Amino acid sequence: MKQTSFRVETKACWPRWTLALAALGFITLPPLHAEERETRLDEASLVSGTTLSGYVEASTIWALSTPPDSAGTAPFPNTLRMPGRLYDVPAKMDGFNLEAFVLTLEKPLDEESWSAGYRAQLFFGPDASLRNLFSLAGGGGNDLGLSEAFVTLRTPPGNGLEFRLGYFLTPLGYESYHSRENANFSHSYGYFIEPKQHTGLTMKYEFAEWMSAIAGVANNYSTYVDAHTQNRGSLTYLAALEFNGAWFGHKDITLKLGYTGGHTDSGAPTDTGPRIHNFHASAHVPLPVDGLALGLAYDYQANFSAGWPANFFLPEGPNTTYADATALYVNYAAKKWEFNTRAEYARATAGNTIFAARSAFGSDKPMFGGHDEKFVGVTETISYQLWKNVLTRVEFRWDHDCAGGEPVFGTAAHPRKNSFTIGFDCVYSF
């Protein structure tokens, strides 16, 4: 967007974000003299394309049939264990939780062939530290984090190349980073093993209405802003293909394929190629019954210790682990009601850092060995819209350890094969 240069001659000048909030209708400004009005309207034009949005989310979650004296914050051996639970962790059980207050400032691309925009999303609340949203590489303990912050650029070749430069969410995955955008409140095992955010550059090109591709590079696999690997020349690589049924009149049918390979910020100086590989495939298909849809997602991760060569699918030795997860989604919407079911199956070699439950990192067993971690989960979420802009939902989740041996749910003092939780989630979006 072309910006108009100006000088402010008045002694009292409103900040630009005050003008932005006024332009969006959130505040009212006092009357101005004619000359002041003209100057400040010029200022407002600089931010008139910016939108302000966000949400506030709160929940309550209760663990059912837990062992005696157990709690998410209880000392060992009474610490409650829930492998595969990402943001609804044991420490949040049996009480009320402020999930987050999220504020988004965004200027989308316009229709011009040369166009620029940006997106900045701030994350306030306990989930900021839980999601590793830190302003510095390596992390910290703050309740304020940066969820996304990037510049978007479009150039005219072909149908237009779209670039993102900065800190952004991974292009992989069936589920969204923000639970309000998902059918279920809790995240799946597959989401658990996917990368989350990167600092880097991506390029997106739409070949046709029914096909687009994303390719990019990032500093590393870790979620921390600007985090670098010890070997600065070892980058993380991103790729995704998205298809839809527009070519046969059903754009709401979608298929996504993706890959991410790279290192964490704790990689070894000798690492020269990716040692963590993630593959993703998912599809969403609305059915002929009005309001009914099916979804299917598969995620696979190969994780190699720092300094070890990364080979696909076959274990290298005691420094190699694997994990995969498959999920089936059944969604039905009728007027203000939604009924969403997720059934999933997840596996991992013993000691995988994603589903770590039985041993320390390291396994010489292949993906299909006899002592793999194996989990089955079913989640049922029912939502009803009582108020405008408000999402209210109740969720029941059951997880089962089906690998054999000592169960990994419950506590070390009282291990159990099953985990049951029930929760209520409320989100106001603006």
Q: Where are the domains of the chain?
A: 1-48, 52-429
pLDDT for the residue 230: 65
354: nearest Cα among 403, 408, 402, 303? 303
Position 272 scores a pLDDT of: 55
Q: How far is CA 302 from CA 39, 314, 352, in A?
A: 58, 9, 9
Whether pLDDT at 11 is above 50: no
Residue closest to 392 by CA, chosen among 23, 42, 65, 58: 58
The percent of residues in the chain predicted with pLDDT above 70, rounded, is: 73
Q: Give pLDDT, residue 2.
A: 36
The separation between CA 112 and the C-alpha centre of its own chain, rounded to angstroms, equals 30
Average pLDDT of the residues in 14-18:
54
Secondary structure class of 156 (helix, strand, coil): coil
pLDDT at residue 314 above 70?
no
**Mean predicted confidence (pLDDT) in 11-33:** 53
Mean per-residue pLDDT for 209-238?
83
Output the CA angle 312-313-319, nearest 5 degrees: 85
Summarised one tens digit per residue, pLDDT across range 78-89 is 788 888 888 888
For residue 259, what pLDDT is reported?
96
Look at the block and give the residue holding tokens 């505040």. 27
Q: Is the pLDDT of residue 160 over 60?
A: yes
Residue 89 pLDDT: 86
Q: Give the three-state DSSP class for 174.
A: coil
Q: What is the pTM of this model?
A: 0.82
Q: Which two tokens stand for residue 33?
A: 């003299």
Instruction: Give mean pLDDT, residues 183-201.
Output: 93
DSSP-derived 3-state class of residue 257: strand
The CA distance from 318 to 349, in Å, is 11
Task: Say if strands 409-410 and 418-429 run parallel, antiparallel, or are unpaired.
Answer: unpaired
Those residues whose C-beta lies under 8 Å from the C-beta of residue 12, and which sit 6 or more positions away, are none
Task: Give the mean pLDDT of 92-96.
Answer: 92
| pLDDT band for position 102 (cuts 50, 70, 90) | very high
297, pLDDT greater than 70? yes
Mean pLDDT of 272-289: 87
Mode of pairing for the β-strands spanning 161-169 and 197-208 = antiparallel
Q: Which token pair is 34?
A: 């004619």
What is the pLDDT at residue 111? Answer: 84
52-429 CATH fold: Porin (2.40.160)
Q: What is the pLDDT of residue 25?
A: 52
Query: What is the rounded distance in angstroms from the CA atom of residue 124 to the CA atom of residue 101?
Result: 5
Q: Which of 182-196, 197-211, 272-286 has the lowest mean pLDDT?
A: 272-286
User: For residue 397, which of 415, 374, 418 has the smallest C-alpha distance?
Assistant: 418
pLDDT tens for each residue of 320-373: 677 889 999 999 999 899 999 999 999 887 655 555 444 432 333 344 444 567
d(CA 310, CA 252): 37
> Is the per-residue pLDDT at 396 higher than 70?
yes
Instruction: Select the more confidently predicted residue: 274 or 51.
Output: 51
Backbone angles phi, psi at 289, to 5 degrees: -70, 125
Token pair for residue 331? 């969604």
Does residue 205 or residue 349 have the better pLDDT? 205
Q: What is the DSSP letter of 79?
A: B
Averaged over 237-251, what is the pLDDT?
Answer: 92
Q: Which residues of 207-225 are buried (b: 16+ CB within 10 A; e: fewer)?
A: eeebebebebebbbbbbbb
Least confident of 16-20, 188-192, 233-237, 301-305: 16-20
- The reported pLDDT for the residue numbered 36 is 55
Of the listed ranges 65-74, 164-173, 235-244, the one predicted with least confidence: 65-74
Higher pLDDT, 261 or 320: 261
**Contact, 173 vs 191, CB < 8 A?**
yes
Mean pLDDT of 211-231: 83
Query: What is the mean predicted confidence (pLDDT) over 172-196?
Result: 93
Distance CA 228, CA 13 (A): 41
